[in-house]
Amino acid sequence: MVIRDTDQIVKVLNEVTNRGDLNMAVGLVADSEGILFDHASGFRDDDKSLPMQTDSIFAIASMTKLITTIAALQLVDSGEIQLDEGIDEYLSEIRDIQVLEGFDSGDKPIFIKASRSPTVRELMTHTSGYVYSIWNETALMAQTKGVTSPLGGGRESIDGPLYFEPGSKWEYGIGIDWLGVLVEKVAGKRLMEYFSQYIFLPLRMQDTFYEYPEDKMDRSVVMSARIKGELIRSELYQPVPAEEGSMGFYGGGGGLYSTVFDYSRVMRALLNGGILDGQRILSEELVEQMFQNQIGELDVSTGKAHITALSNDFDMGFGSQAKWGLGFLVSPIGTENGRSGGTASWAGLFNSYFWIDREKDLCAVFATQVLPFYDEKAVATVKQYERAVYGLTD
């Protein structure tokens, strides 16, 4: 696809920061052969003395999930994992898992034994029964009452029950964190080590990591929060340097830092059927499956926020029907802002968004660093950015 008017894309990114709606914004568009467009606007520090750059390194949060899914699919390619095998075949701690149905009048949790453990495919497709307390009221109650641990606290933070029977519905959740545990168990490597060896090195992704290197902190981006309509410095998730290998737990569902350039390498590999610059990371057959509906008659639902400091309500289908493939949402009929039918997409908690449009041979990423998720100004900019990429006029 040829981008007709890059000036319009630049205008979208510049105007949102010039108005002060976002402190920074960065965008990149590519096709299977290379980069078509990249631009950064705004500032990456509190004092507005450091301009945002296209190689600035930012937290990608749940955009990590695609990397973890690719890692697991590599193990499917090698025959070490079966997509429709119960995960209790690989992880003994999942055997006899329970479903938390709610709480009785005395605030005691009501558990029932799950009919079976989730399958690997159900972990990948958010149909496993695992949820996030950010968007699930029962899970938040369980966390508040000490039945489960708070999210983000390490390995113990994902230990907990299911909240519905596997395969019975779609709900965004911590299943991909469990997929990361599965990759570590089967591969016999820590998740970051696996990513580095089998994804980041082959794709030449030199700026993607969990632990932020001290010598790259000069490319870091300050995290903002929108409180009562005002942008302020966030008290949470500021980037800090850490020694490689120092983390006790690598979450498959989030935690990576990256750049728009690095992330485009993953997207371009998928546009090319699993290969980029002669390095194959996934079979063509499995790449094809990633872009197919894997949840049948179920639909990807909207999210109702219960921890409003972290998220607003969200609709990642942007008003269009949404299914789930392997690793991302799939839009069967595209979107009104330009994406073709079959386009894959997802996002990160700090308002970074990507999509992969195979019909148009195009992939794009937009990122800022602000909480809560599905920020009104960020989402409006994503839609304008998308329309500019496809050359649509209002």
Q: Which residues are catalytic?
A: 62, 65, 172
DSSP state of 167: T
Backbone angles phi, psi at 144, to 5 degrees: -65, -35
Encoded amino acid at 134, one letter: I
CB 223 within 8 A of CB 234: yes
Instruction: Look up tokens 């983390």; give the residue.
Output: 247
Helix residue ranges, H only, the chain = 6-18, 64-77, 120-125, 137-144, 175-187, 191-195, 260-271, 284-290, 376-389
Question: Any residues with CB less than 8 A from the CB of 9 and at least 6 apart, and which?
Answer: 3, 27, 29, 37, 39, 385, 388, 389
φ/ψ of 185, rounded to 5, equals -65, -50
CB atoms within 10 A of CB 173: 26
Compute the Cα dihedral for 308, 233, 369, 158 and give only its sign. Answer: negative
